[in-house]
């Protein structure tokens, strides 16, 4: 991938992901903000919703900004992959691939673009190049392992906190204890 191609990909992917994260964090661009995003996370089974909403918003906004600028690569694309992998497994699971069917077409495309940037690097027209930054090569595989473990935890291993009112109702006065 040439330097100009990397720049175009970074600006498009990073800019759109930063905007998507701003919708979650700040309610920008008609987005739901933290409260709406937290409710959506809980609807997906990610409880409590607020920390998951914050994680999603920061992964998208922070990952998008870092990707757009080509700064601290590959941290930005890893953040994008994390958010999109979670979206794929929690919001689009079990649906046909196409977005018109509620499928994961867009998250998969974003993951592919972020992966291409990890493999290529941010290119010549980046802040990393301007400042002479080069993060260690082991960072990308480690980041991807963290993403995989987080998605697995959220999909199968995240314990739900007990509902205190239901727990009390289940033992109060019905003699079933």
Q: Are 134 and 75 spatial neighbours (Cβ–Cβ below 8 Å)? A: no
pLDDT given for residue 156 in this prediction: 84
Compute the distance between CA of residue 55 and CA of residue 44 in angstroms, rounded to an integer. Answer: 14
Q: Using the CB atoms, write b or e for 56-80: b if 16+ within 10 Å.
A: bbebbbbbbbbbbbbbbbbbbbbbb
- Ranges under pLDDT 50 in the chain: 161-162, 164-177
Task: Please measure the distance between the N-terminal and C-terminal CA atoms of the chain and give it in whole angstroms.
Answer: 66
Q: Please give the torsion angle defined by the CA atoms of residues 104, 115, 86 and 23, in that order, rounded to the nearest 10 degrees.
A: -80
- Cα–Cα separations (whole angstroms), residue 141 to 75, 145, 170: 11, 6, 46
Q: Are 123 and 129 spatial neighbours (Cβ–Cβ below 8 Å)? A: yes
- Cα–Cα separations (whole angstroms), residue 69 to 11, 111, 138: 8, 18, 21
pLDDT given for residue 157 in this prediction: 62
Phi, psi of 31 (to 5 degrees): -75, 170
pLDDT given for residue 177 in this prediction: 41
Q: Please give the torsion angle defined by the CA atoms of residues 152, 138, 62 and 99, in that order, rounded to the nearest 10 degrees.
A: -50
pLDDT given for residue 132 in this prediction: 97
pLDDT given for residue 1 in this prediction: 65
């Amino acid at each position: 991938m040439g330097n100009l191609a990397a720049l175009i990909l970074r600006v498009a992917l990073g800019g759109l992901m930063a905007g998507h994260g701003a919708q979650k964090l700040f309610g920008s661009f008609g987005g739901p903000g933290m409260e709406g995003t937290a409710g959506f996370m809980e609807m997906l089974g990610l409880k409590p919703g607020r920390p998951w909403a914050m994680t999603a918003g920061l992964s998208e906004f922070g990952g998008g900004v870092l990707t757009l600028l080509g700064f601290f690569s590959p941290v930005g694309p890893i953040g994008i992959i994390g958010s999109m992998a979670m979206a794929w497994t929690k919001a689009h699971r079990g649906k046909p691939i196409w977005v018109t069917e509620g499928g994961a077409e867009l998250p998969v495309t974003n993951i592919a673009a972020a992966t291409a940037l990890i493999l290529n690097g941010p290119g010549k027209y980046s802040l990393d190049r301007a400042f002479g930054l080069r993060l260690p090569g082991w960072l990308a595989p480690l980041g991807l392992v963290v993403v995989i473990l987080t998605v697995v935890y959220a999909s199968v291993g995240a314990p739900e906190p007990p509902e205190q009112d239901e727990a009390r109702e289940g033992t109060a006065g019905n003699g079933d204890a």
